[in-house]
Amino acid sequence: MRGKFITFEGSEGCGKSTQSRLLYKYLKSKGYNVVYLREPGGTRISEKLRSLLLDPANHISPVCETLLYMAARAQVVNDIVKPAIIKGRIVVCDRFLDSTLAYQGYGLGIDIDFIKKIGAFASAGIKPNLTILLDLPVKKGLKHREAYRDRIEQRNFRYHFRVRRGYLKLGAQEPERIKIVKVDKDKSATQQKIRKIVEKYVL
């Protein structure tokens, strides 16, 4: 596989979607062949699963939630991620398997080893070359979501604290792949940090 796979992770309100899109546009402007995706989503089936997962009206068990995220991931890997990497493209993805480890594993208590095993199956063994982990205190992040919160965002502070702590634990376990970036008030300053990391470790 000749392409590169860059993922963005982080707890709620960290600016992950904004920063990943900024990087995508930057790489395109530099002439790279880039594909941008969000998770869950990216395909018709995965987007439908996203709607189910994030709708506050739905009551979904932790096990069902975990498996639905994996199903959405399996489809987007099969349809978009794997073909793009084989063709030598750079794939920039807003969330991937680390999200499931943080949110459903450390957040909800689903067995971490189980998530890793089924995650490897769902993602066809594909792992990111680089993961940008945007870190922001939980209270600050949730404050950015006060106007509207989806099903996951509506969970209590303790849950979101466990998610952030889980992310930091993952970063400590895989420092070569996962690069922790402290979120700056200035979005452009955060983006500059990200570009330096990408240029050093991926390009």
- Threshold 0.85, pTM exceeds: yes
Q: What is the CATH number of the domain that holds 48?
A: 3.40.50.300
> Could you read off the pLDDT of 72-129 as tens digits, one per residue?
999 999 999 999 999 999 999 999 999 999 999 999 999 999 999 999 999 999 999 9
**What's the domain range around 56?**
4-201
- Residue 150's alpha-carbon distances to 32, 113, 188, in angstroms, are 34, 27, 27
- Please report, in tens digits, the pLDDT of each residue of the chain (203 residues total): 589 999 999 998 899 999 999 999 999 999 999 999 999 999 999 999 999 999 999 999 999 999 999 999 999 999 999 999 999 999 999 999 999 999 999 999 999 999 999 999 999 999 999 999 999 988 887 876 666 788 988 889 999 999 999 999 999 999 999 999 999 889 999 999 999 999 998 88
Which of 187, 203, 202 has the alpha carbon at shortest distance from 22? 187
Q: What is the largest CA-CA distance in the chain?
A: 45
**Number of domains, the chain:** 1
Q: What is the separation of C-alpha 99 from the centre of its chain, rounded to a whole number of angstroms? A: 5
